[in-house]
Amino acid sequence: MTLDELLKDRSEEAKSTYLSHISIDCVVFGFDNGTIKVLLVRMKGKRHWMLPGGFVENHEDIDDAAIRILTARTGADKVYLQQFATFGKKDRSQAFFKQSPALWHAQRFISIGYFAMVDFNQVIPVADDISDKCEWLPLQELPALAMDHSTILSKALKTLQTQVNYQPIGLNLLPQEFTLPELQKLYESILGRTLNRGNFYRKIMALDILEKLDEPRKGGAHKAPNLYSFNVKKYNEAFENGIYDRW
């Protein structure tokens, strides 16, 4: 079946299950091999990648809807999810279904954006039955996305870039144990620029959210690098209270 046939089959059920005019789009960030990646899907027969998304059930909180949508794509049941903006230009999604305007899915949608940070290694991307692909793509090499999804993604990234100035980051993106160069790479990948190593170490240590492990990483020809993990209690306190008070 084509995408339109599949969606036509579901239009009636969608109409009775979901609120009209409201959708959710998820920007899922993962960190792999020193670079930020984003989870994207491609619907059957469509040329452009898009953000994984879905709709809000009639009697469902929007935050619960976002978790449900994300879990279906990633298999991950505990992810950090944060609403960051809502997108409602009048023509943001109409063109996508212009050849089948009678579909429930072709109505005007205002989309609530959530971003998620997940441990790349814990996620198995799942393509649903209206998509032929669900994959991680590197943030720095993304193609143009469908609808206004490039705008949504940019806003999520900008939010994250601002947020690292006043909240710690990494607990949900890094594996349990990591080296300081790996943590620096994470910051550099989010900020899109290199950081001075000495300054970064000094500043990250000043946050007092890291614990140095007794055993360095094993294997490799060079001197074994020290391993760290987050002190979750201190990390969460810093996340809640902010790491910086200008005034």
Chain centroid offset of residue 150 CA = 13
Residues numbered 186 to 215 that lie near a copy of itself (CB under 8 A) are 187, 191, 195, 199-200, 203
- What distance in Å separates the CA atoms of residue 172 and residue 106, rounded to the nearest whole number? 35
Residues numbered 118 to 177 that lie near a copy of itself (CB under 8 A) are 162, 164-166
Stretch that binds a copy of itself, among 6-14, 84-92, 131-139, 145-153 (CB under 8 A): 84-92
Residue type, 147: M
Nearer to a copy of itself, 122 or 179 (CB): 179
Chain centroid offset of residue 2 CA = 28
Nearer to a copy of itself, 34 or 242 (CB): 242
**CA distances (Å), 38 to each of 8, 111, 139, 146, 157, in order?**
29, 18, 6, 15, 11
Shortest approach of a copy of itself to residue 3 CB, angstroms?
Answer: 25
Candidates 4, 32, 60, 237; binder of a copy of itself (CB under 8 A) is 60
**CA distances (Å), 107 to each of 15, 86, 94, 100, 120, in order?**
11, 17, 7, 10, 34
Nearer to a copy of itself, 83 or 229 (CB): 83
Stretch that binds a copy of itself, among 8-16, 18-26, 32-40, 228-236 (CB under 8 A): 18-26
Shortest approach of a copy of itself to residue 176 CB, angstroms?
Answer: 23
Residue type, 115: F
Candidates 3, 56, 106, 209; binder of a copy of itself (CB under 8 A) is 56
By the 10 Å C-beta count (0-12 exposed, 13-18 middle, 19+ buried), 113 is classed as buried
Q: Determine if 112 is a binding residue for a copy of itself (CB under 8 A).
A: yes
Candidates 6, 14, 62, 126; binder of a copy of itself (CB under 8 A) is 62
Give the three-state DSSP class for 31: strand
Where are the extended beta strands (E) located within 79-129?
A: 80-87, 110-117
- What distance in Å separates the CA atoms of residue 180 and residue 201, rounded to the nearest whole number? 7
Binding residues for a copy of itself, rule: CB under 8 A, are 19-22, 56, 58-63, 83, 85-86, 88-90, 108, 110, 112, 162, 164-166, 187, 191, 195, 199-200, 203, 242-247
